[in-house]
Structure 1
Amino acid sequence: MTESTITAKGQTTVPADIRALIDAQPGTRLVWSAMPDGTLIVRAKSQSVLDMAGMLKAPKGKRVSTEDMNPWR
């Protein structure tokens, strides 16, 4: 089991073996989630939703305008 300590400023260092496991580089963002039972889940954020832009192509002849997508029309 790997450990780290929280400093007086609320900072901690991610241990080297964990950084290597997730291939963390300077600037890697971590997402922290606290579960109801006190368990913490820390996930390396490797992609932005913006990285998926253009992934899906509209079927030919099936274009929908932004106005038609608005649920409050």
Structure 2
Amino acid sequence: MSEPTTISSKGQVTVPRDVRERLGLQAGDKIAWSMLSNGTIVLRPKTRRLVDLVGMLTQPGQPGVSVDEMRLPE
């Protein structure tokens, strides 16, 4: 578990290194905060890199489609 962090006068916090590493966060990445009904706070990375999106639109058993196959005929 990470050490407690301090909120700055501007409302900023530093995400502890072990949390950044575990979530794969880098400088400039965005995160989303959600509060559950029991008061638990959930922090989720919102920045996606192109490589993270590979395969998201395929379904099991569905053949892949190349970029050329996606292009409309002219």
What TM-score range do you get, normalising by the shorter chain? 0.5 to 0.7
Structure 2 counterpart of 1:23: 24
Structure 1 counterpart of 2:48: 47
Structure 1 counterpart of 2:68: none
Structure 2 counterpart of 1:8: 9
Give the RMSD, CA atoms, in angstroms.
Answer: 2.2
Question: 4+ residue stretches of structure 1 with deviation over 3 A?
Answer: none
- Answer with 1 or 2: which has the greater Rg: 1
The Cα shift of 1:46 comes to 3.5
Q: Which consecutive residues of structure 1, in runs of 5 or more, have no partner in the other structure?
A: 58-73
State the aligned residue count: 53
Q: Which consecutive residues of structure 2, in runs of 5 or more, have no partner in the other structure?
A: 59-64, 66-74
The two structures have a TM-score, normalised by structure 1, of: 0.58
